[in-house]
Amino acid sequence: MIRKLFRFVLGVLRFIGRSIEFFARGVIYLLVALMLGVFVAIFMHPAPQVPQGAALVLRPTGTIVEQAVLDEPFALLRAGGVSAGRVVLSEQLEAIRAAASDERIAALVIETDRLQGAGLSKLSELRDAIAAFKAAGKPVLARGDHYDQAQYYLASTADEVHLAPDGFVLMRGLARYGMYFKDALDRLGIKVHVFRVGEYKSFAEPFTRNDMSEEDRASSRDLLEGLWTQLRDAVATSRKLTPDAVDAYVNGYRDVLAAAGGDAAQAALGARLVDRLSTRDQWRALLMERVGRDSAGKDFRQIDADAYLEAVRRARPAASDRIAVIVAQGTIIDGEEPAGVVAGDTYARLIREAREDETVKAVLLRIDSPGGSAFASELIRRELELTRQAGKPVVASMSSVAASGGYWIAAGADEIWAAPATLTGSIGIFALFPEVDEPLRRLGISVDGVATSPLAASFDPRRPLDPAAAEAMQLGIDHGYRRFLDTVAKARRMSAADVDKVARGRVWTGQAAAGLGLVDHVGGLDAALAATARRAGLTDYEVVWPEAIESIEQRLMRRLIGLAGRVDALHGVAAVAVSPLGGALADMERNARELMRWNDPQHRYVHCLCESP
């Protein structure tokens, strides 16, 4: 009886086990089928068709960047699950460049309402590409419900600029203001020891001052005036105005608005910043008239930049020779990291792999970085130097910012290109050491112990910094600065003394840096890419973009987000607007997160407290 009962129970258990196994296999098969379906939908869909006589639509959503990275999960949660949106500059340039000579494309349409931000140099490169499109004899039309300064700078290059009747053109000029924490730190009893070389190396000033130093003030004023001159003159030229007329609109906006009875759209029209005021339906009707109707007859004949670029790339024959464009975007840190920061070990490996790849004939380093770890910067520069020694040309192309550590890595190239509005230079070095001895004492917490040598516990933030340790730190910083000068001097064929005259932590525009000998040529990504091909003796080549390794899940998420972004664009979903206060808090959070990433082994940093306006 017991044996029968045992057999019965065993049979039941076997049945349950087989059922679970069957169910598990079913779930696995279902997941595999789902993944295959997603793969086919995303990767195997047919190439988009380019209508004959269509308008290429440039509708940037989010921020224009050099390299797209995935949003962090918590950032997505804070944003309600909506990605902020990133537009890769090189892809937009490639689409516009291809469309200029494509007989299927009859016009370029620019809509700027979803553009949330971009460095001046990136917008300038887009403007140059649009100017080349116009030179091919094809019209360019732009419209916005309203324009902030970045949106208008891009749109103003069009042949015809439209604005909504209730819109505005808000050009505010350029400014640089920061927060200073000395009094707050003093009240908390926190001391921040700063070790630096260069009176213009202002990164640490917020921790040691209550206001901007005179050196930083003078340097910042010169920098902003140089950048504003570039922006203002470009707008004036595009709109056939004088620079004084643009200045009058910006500086006297209240009076301009008062003269128009408070009607901001009429004020912009009266200042000749726009050509026509049009509602969205009037704009669409105009485009149907200028370009023609689509097959359904309900909209104008068009193709968006992403779909057009995909069609062009699929039709392009593969080439045997390649140029590797390695994008260094973000803070430079030590170690291995995925895309989003410039990790020393990761980028050294990317450069080494390009050097050892026989199909790669040259390397273009595209830099958009304010710097960071001195150790990681030298690691990357050395790999570029080894690549040159191996006989492969290396060219550096500077985007919005290539300063401090960003400039250090550029010194590993055969030649350096910078955009006129690039922020570069900031040749200097610093270290920070916080001391929290007093706040602990206020809380009644004491720190005591023993050590085998004076330096053993010298860099414990809970204890006062030992004077000998402070002197040792400054000696190391002085040496690091001399190393920076020598590295630049060797690369630029200058004396260290001459480099020092334009260094000391000072930031320059790309235009000014060219006159000082810090860069070789002024030009954008396309010009630098052409120079790289010339150095390598290439006429027929493919451009590849090596990136930090991502998991399959990350790659799938990137494609899904990109697909979702395209669907949103088709359905007219606007980008999420950010309030000024929200933007300021987000900047503070981002800066704090960046500081937490700093991990130079010797705590020495070549970083520029600067960003492109």
Decide: helix, strand or coil at residue 52.
coil
The answer to whether the CB of 380 falls within 8 A of the CB of 348 is yes
> Could you say which of 219, 369, 404, 426 is catalytic?
404
* Angle subtended at Cα 65 by Cα 57 and Cα 394, rounded to the nearest 5 degrees: 115
Looking up tokens 């007989």 gives 103
**Active-site residue identified among 201, 278, 361, 373:** 201
Concerning whether 404 is annotated as a catalytic residue, the answer is yes
Query: Which residues are CB-neighbours of 85 under 8 A, at least 6 positions away?
Result: 61, 62, 63, 114, 116, 565, 575
Helix (H, G, I), strand (E, B) or coil at 117: strand
The span from the CA of 569 to the CA of 19, in Å, is 46
Is the CB of residue 235 less than 8 Å from the CB of residue 246?
yes
| Per-residue CA distances from 451 to 197, 436, 455, 460, 468 (Å) | 31, 20, 8, 12, 15
Catalytic residue check, 201: yes
Contact 413, 394 (CB under 8 A): yes
* Contact call for residues 152 and 273 (beta carbons, < 8 A): yes
Which residues, 6 or more positions from 119, have their beta carbon under 8 angstroms from its beta carbon?
64, 368, 399, 400, 401, 421, 611, 612, 613
Closest C-alpha to 57, from 299, 400, 315, 240 = 299
Residues 144 and 155: their CA atoms lie apart, in Å, by 8
Which neighbouring-strand residues pair with 143? Answer: 111, 162
How would you classify the pairing of strands 191-197 and 302-304?
A: unpaired
241: tokens are: 């105005």
Supply 587's token pair.
Answer: 């900047």
The two tokens of residue 317 are 């024959």
Beta strands in 299-414, from DSSP E residues, in sequence order: 302-304, 322-329, 332-333, 342-343, 360-369, 371-373, 394-403
Q: Which residues are catalytic?
A: 201, 404
